Amino acid sequence: MCGIRDKHKLNLRMNIDMYALVEILGKQYKAVEGETVQVDYISSCEAGSSLEYATVLAVVDESNAKFGTPYVADAVVKATLVGDIKGDKIRVFKKKRRKGYKRTQGHRERYSLITIDKIIA
């Protein structure tokens, strides 16, 4: 059985050269070069657009780590918008007992996929 601390140790043992913690649209994500990250929907850009985020909270590589207060100075994460996807459907069901009142509503959240191209620290 693998606890939270064991999973954290496993992640540290992976051969990841560098990663950054970046704030995108008010949420924090772990950015590794070459990986694709699912973020909240970005309506202002089209697929294939180049994105730059200067709101880098931390940059960690094999030899050292930089933590910002609140952001790391001169650190930039460059990414490319791959496209948009929809999340799983969520069913919202409302009912009032003994009144015959029932309503069902569905919802699907939109997400954007971005590929991390480069981390500049």
Enclosing H/E stretch for 56: strand 56-61
24-47: pLDDT as tens digits: 999 999 999 999 999 999 999 999
The reported pTM is 0.77
Tokens representing 8?
């954290």
Structural domain count of the chain: 1
94-106: pLDDT as tens digits: 999 999 999 999 9
Rounded to whole angstroms, how far apart are CA atoms 52 and 67? 19
Report which of 49, 47, 57, 65 is spatially closest to residue 26, judged by C-alpha positions.
57
**Domain span including residue 28:** 4-120
Rounded to whole angstroms, how far apart are CA atoms 86 and 101? 30
The answer to whether residues 8 and 107 touch, using CB atoms and an 8 Å cutoff, is no
- Per-residue DSSP letter, 11: H
Q: To the nearest whole percent, how much of the chain has pLDDT over 70?
A: 87
